[in-house]
A and B are shown apart, each in its own frame.
Chain A
Amino acid sequence: MKNLTQIACVDDDPHMRQIIELALGELADLELTLFASGQEALEGLPITRPQLVLLDVMMPGMDGFETLKRMRANPATKNIPVIFVTGRAGLDDRVKYKTAGAAAVISKPINPFALARQVLAVWWTLDEAAA
């Protein structure tokens, strides 16, 4: 099983980025890159090449859907698994997110004490599926 050591997080709220950074600090040897917008992420992800991206859905300008669509259109980022992080996570929404290409959905509000475990659980599932 591959260790998860490189994650990128895309969220327009600076305090949310701090919460996620704090929460994921529980993961050993983690290299976390933070982006404040979809556009910033599209510019930075081909360089940082994380193993996983946490992506906010509702952001001004380019939302999470558009960001994911453009990631999938870029050979450098098309295979990076994406977890949507969103307050809208009902059944219909989840179907929409999966159809758009998200590997998983984590609901907001984020629990800083549980986020690392949630992300690892997704990672392990993806790793098993790839094996």
Chain B
Amino acid sequence: MSARLKAIIESYCASLPGEIDALDQRQADGLFDYEAVRFAAHRLKGTARSLGLEKLDVALFSVESAAREMAANPSCYADRQGELAAGIEALRAICATIQPSESRMWAMAAPSPADAAG
């Protein structure tokens, strides 16, 4: 399991910049599609959490929460738009430097005798 798990962690980390670009799409009026942001952040958070990428998990939770609140409460759009944009930028910064070895699962995925045998 260990080599495959590490490959999944590496693939996930490599996918993040593109995922954040996709999440950062704004509509013609300059506003976020809050439902889309919420779903994307939620989806990424589930995997981040399962892989034990804690900094990323926290940042995604923050973005998901802000987007959820804005989707449910359109009257706060103008006030929260900047906050959501800042949250996404913070997320982007984490994703730019994240290392697979930061995953708690990375350390747990120690090579087994079966892996060593190839």
A contact set with B: CB distance below 8 Å: 12-13, 15-16, 18-19, 22, 25-26, 58-60, 87, 108-113
Contact = CB atoms under 8 A, between A and B. Distances in A.
A109 B39 contact: no
Given A25-B1, A87-B46, A87-B49, A15 B39 contact: no
Contact of A112 (B1, B15, B36): B1
A contact patch SS: loop
Nearest to A18: B8
Nearest to A56: B46
A22 B49 contact: no
Contacts, number: 51
A58 B39 contact: yes
Given A22-B8, A58-B42, A108 B50 contact: yes
B101 interface: no
Contacts of A26: 1
B8 A13 contact: no
A16 B39 contact: no
Nearest to A61: B39
A16 B50 contact: yes
Given A16-B47, A25-B1, A87-B46, 14 more contacts: A12-B43, A13-B43, A13-B44, A15-B12, A18-B8, A22-B1, A22-B5, A26-B1, A87-B42, A109-B46, A111-B50, A112-B1, A112-B105, A113-B1
